[in-house]
């Protein structure tokens, strides 16, 4: 197989950069321009180009372009994570104060929580005597990344547990955040930031305007890390790379790309794990070794997959999908059912009483659609163009894809959400 396409063969292109004795003036001028452009692209002087020759330099240019195209890929850090270097989840139970009457409606756990908090400050009041309309009991959650030291800050999310109308204007009181082992790793506190609001009065005759979720809020950098989570990512002079999207092909490609940089150091253990042995001398600086690993470029394997979200009408297809030759016809059927109320009025001298009756009108509309033959569609661009030419809506495309899959014409995984 030739390294470059036939139409890019330097033997056919060098004529553009050479002046032949019998060439016309127009061709000579064109050849001079090509000759100068080649020198400019290669970044060499006229003497070097004349000495080496445009044919060899053009080969070098095409080899460099081919290498750059083949080497283009995704950095390792974007598709894997280091085993052991993972996030951890934290959760806490706390109080939000200052809600101006929009808090929980005197729930038993609210009162007990407030009484327990006051007891910490030396105030002993029975829980039954407290009023809790300006406070809300909340759950506080956060993700703590690896390697964070004491004093670092992380974001927290606050969500109401009770029947508070809104957390607008609230302040989270000091809340310890615990890990799965029951130890406190961070402490959260601060004013809440909401992405919505709620206004008005509900009930009979009232109106309420609500935007987004007023009972969920965030505090950016709202928690201080109090305990560092121990992290170990080097085991027996080796590290394990975990693929975010497991694939046997991607794991094999990744191991091959690593072995080009660190000879015979990586092998794929399964579809989601690549074991990398650290070279001699790298044990003293594992961070530098992993930094070099992260910069290695690899071409991940993208499966042929179509994701259909029936609720939102969204379709996402990868570039690897393939549709065999088939014929498609899609039509829409619309059924309208309308109910209305009529008044039945008796005759003036016939007796009887006025009555309200219901009337139902039903209509069916079916759009006409011819069967269209689709040739083999090997790329996602051709699939999109063919379906758009049919005038199919996203809802129609969902049905078409499902029917194609059942007919065996769709060579891709179909996932319905």
Helix axes 25-42, 54-71, angle to 10 degrees: 50
Which tens digit of pLDDT belongs to each residue from 118-129?
888 888 888 887
The whole-number average pLDDT for the span 82-108 is 88
Closest by CA position to 38, among listed 18, 24, 22, 20: 18
Residues in a beta bridge with 191? 171
Do the Cβ atoms of 142 and 223 come closer than 8 Å? yes
Q: What is the pLDDT of residue 11?
A: 45
Q: What is the pLDDT of residue 44?
A: 44
Place of tokens 């709202």: 222
* Token pair of 338 as six digits: 């309308």
Residue 160 CB neighbours (<10 A): 23
Which tens digit of pLDDT belongs to each residue from 260-311?
999 999 999 999 999 999 988 888 888 999 999 999 999 888 888 899 888 8
* Token pair of 216 as six digits: 């969920």
Residues in a beta bridge with 104? none
Q: Residue 74 pLDDT more than 70?
A: yes
Q: Coil, strand, or helix at residue 139?
A: strand
Q: Residue 214 pLDDT more than 80?
A: yes
Cβ-in-10-Å burial (0-12, 13-18, 19+) of 97 comes to middle
Which tens digit of pLDDT belongs to each residue from 137-180?
999 999 999 999 999 999 999 999 888 888 888 999 999 999 99
* Token pair of 287 as six digits: 């961070």
The whole-number average pLDDT for the span 215-244 is 91
Which tens digit of pLDDT belongs to each residue from 11-69?
444 444 443 444 455 455 555 555 555 455 444 444 444 444 555 444 444 444 433 43
The Cα–Cα gap between 357 and 344 comes to: 7
Q: What percent of the chain has pLDDT over 90?
A: 28
Q: What is the pLDDT of residue 206?
A: 54
Average pLDDT, the chain: 77
Residue 38 CB neighbours (<10 A): 19
Q: Residue 10 pLDDT more than 50?
A: no
Using left for φ > 0, alpha for ψ between -120 and 50, and beta otherwise, residue 282 falls in alpha
DSSP state letters, 264-287: T-EEE-SSSEEEEEPPTT-TT-HH
Task: Give the lowest-confidence range in 194-203, 235-244, 399-408.
Answer: 194-203
Q: Residue 196 pLDDT more than 90?
A: no
Q: What percent of the chain has pLDDT over 70?
A: 72
* Parallel/antiparallel/unpaired status of strands 238-243 and 80-82: antiparallel
């Amino acid at each position: 197989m030739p390294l470059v396409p036939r139409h890019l063969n330097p033997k056919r292109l060098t004529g553009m950069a050479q002046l032949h004795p019998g060439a016309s003036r127009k061709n000579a001028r064109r050849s001079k321009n090509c000759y100068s452009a080649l020198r400019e692209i290669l970044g060499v002087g006229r003497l070097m180009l004349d000495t080496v020759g445009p044919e060899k330099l053009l080969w070098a240019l095409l080899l460099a372009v081919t290498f750059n195209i083949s080497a283009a890929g995704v950095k390792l850090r974007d598709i894997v994570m280091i085993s052991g270097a993972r996030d951890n989840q934290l959760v806490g139970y706390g109080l939000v104060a200052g809600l101006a009457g929009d808090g929980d409606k005197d729930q038993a756990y609210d009162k007990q929580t407030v009484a327990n908090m006051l007891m910490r400050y030396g105030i002993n009041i029975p829980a039954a005597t407290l009023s809790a309309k300006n406070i809300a009991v909340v759950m506080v959650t956060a993700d703590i990344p690896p390697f964070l030291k004491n004093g670092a800050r992380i974001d927290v999310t606050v969500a109401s547990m009770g029947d508070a109308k809104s957390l607008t204007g609230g302040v989270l009181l000091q809340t310890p955040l615990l890990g799965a082992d029951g130890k406190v790793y961070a402490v959260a506190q601060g004013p809440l930031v909401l992405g919505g609001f709620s206004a008005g009065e509900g009930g009979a005759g009232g109106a309420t305007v609500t935007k987004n979720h007023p009972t969920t809020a965030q505090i950016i950098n709202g928690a201080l890390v109090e305990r560092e989570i121990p992290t170990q990512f080097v085991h027996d002079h080796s590290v394990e790379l975990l693929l975010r999207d497991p694939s046997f092909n991607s794991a094999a490609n990744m191991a091959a790309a690593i072995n080009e940089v660190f000879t015979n150091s990586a092998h794929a253990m399964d579809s989601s794990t690549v074991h990398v042995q650290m070279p001699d001398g790298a044990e003293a600086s594992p961070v530098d070794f992993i930094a070099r690993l992260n910069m290695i470029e690899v071409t991940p394997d993208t499966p042929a997959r179509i994701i259909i979200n029936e609720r939102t009408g969204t379709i996402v297809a990868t570039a690897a999908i393939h549709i065999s030759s088939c014929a498609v016809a899609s039509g829409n059927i619309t059924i309208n059912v309308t109910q209305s109320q009529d008044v039945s009025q008796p005759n003036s001298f016939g007796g009887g009483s006025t009555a309200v009756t219901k009337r139902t009108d039903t209509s069916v509309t079916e759009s006409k659609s011819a069967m269209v033959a689709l040739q083999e569609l090997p790329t996602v661009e051709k699939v999109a163009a063919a379906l758009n030419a049919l005038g199919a809506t996203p809802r129609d495309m969902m049905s078409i894809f499902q029917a194609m899959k059942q007919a065996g014409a769709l060579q891709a995984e179909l996932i319905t959400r």
